């Protein structure tokens, strides 16, 4: 569904809703994938999931799953928050951001339907979690802030779609790390030239 949402960002509200409805219809009519786990494997998975002393996460890189002691995970998150980049707020700013976002949308030239779709609904603050860097000693966490459900989430998704239509057309746009490597491989630096001259 996430891929569909990205693909329909440039469509009109009516066309986007049509695409969503058709996607839901296809998903409802398609058969569920068969479970390839044995009964014992399924039971082991449930046991791990139900154990409050364990935290199960995807690794930061690679297609791996990591099982950590919950106490270790919490300690690693706490140590991340000791960084001066973070500071404790005196109060939750979610309601204030929600009001400002709603006011901003009201002033816009968007249709009422679009404002409803892009406005905050049931907002919650962004959530911090960490993905284990299993390739590094001590398995530190990479901090990730999830904005899903935050007051500006729908609006920022919409703006990202509008901006992507333009950024992808510029010669200075890098799509991903593989694209960046191809660009670097194509560069030739002559000996004796400064780093500012390519």
Residue 1: pLDDT band (50, 70, 90) is: low
Residue 93 predicted with pLDDT over 80? yes
Give tens-digit pLDDT for 141-156: 999 999 988 999 999 9
Please check whether residue 166 is in contact with residue 159, taking contact to mean a CB–CB distance below 8 angstroms: no
User: What are the structural domain ranges in the chain?
Assistant: 1-34, 38-165
Residue 38 to residue 162: CA distance in whole angstroms: 46
What phi-psi label fits residue 125: left (phi over 0), alpha (psi between -120 and 50 degrees) or beta?
Answer: beta
pLDDT of residue 62: 82
How confident is the prediction for the chain on average, in pLDDT? 85
- The tokens for 18 are 């049509």
pTM (two decimals): 0.62
Give tens-digit pLDDT for 33-71: 777 889 999 999 899 989 999 999 999 988 899 999 999
Span 158-177, mean pLDDT? Answer: 80
What are the beta bridge partners of residue 65?
58
What are the beta bridge partners of residue 129?
144
Please check whether residue 12 is in contact with residue 19, taking contact to mean a CB–CB distance below 8 angstroms: no
């Amino acid at each position: 569904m996430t891929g569909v949402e990205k693909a329909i960002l440039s469509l009109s509200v009516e066309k986007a809703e049509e695409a969503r409805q058709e996607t839901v219809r296809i998903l409802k009519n398609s058969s569920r994938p068969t479970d390839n786990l044995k009964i014992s494997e399924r039971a082991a998975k449930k046991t791990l999931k139900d154990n409050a002393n364990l935290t199960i996460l995807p690794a930061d890189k690679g297609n791996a799953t990591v099982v950590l002691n919950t106490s270790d995970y919490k300690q690693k998150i706490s140590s991340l928050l000791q960084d001066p980049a973070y500071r404790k707020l005196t109060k939750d700013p979610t309601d204030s951001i929600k009001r400002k976002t709603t006011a901003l949308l009201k002033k816009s030239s968007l249709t009422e339907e679009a404002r409803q779709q892009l406005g905050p609904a049931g907002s919650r603050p962004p959530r911090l979690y960490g993905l284990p860097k299993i390739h590094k000693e001590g398995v530190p966490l990479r901090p990730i802030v999830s904005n899903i459900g935050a007051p500006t989430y729908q609006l920022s998704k919409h703006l990202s779609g509008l901006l992507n239509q333009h950024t992808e057309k510029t010669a200075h746009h890098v799509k991903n790390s593989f694209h960046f490597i191809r660009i670097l491989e194509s560069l030739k630096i002559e000996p004796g030239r400064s780093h500012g001259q390519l």
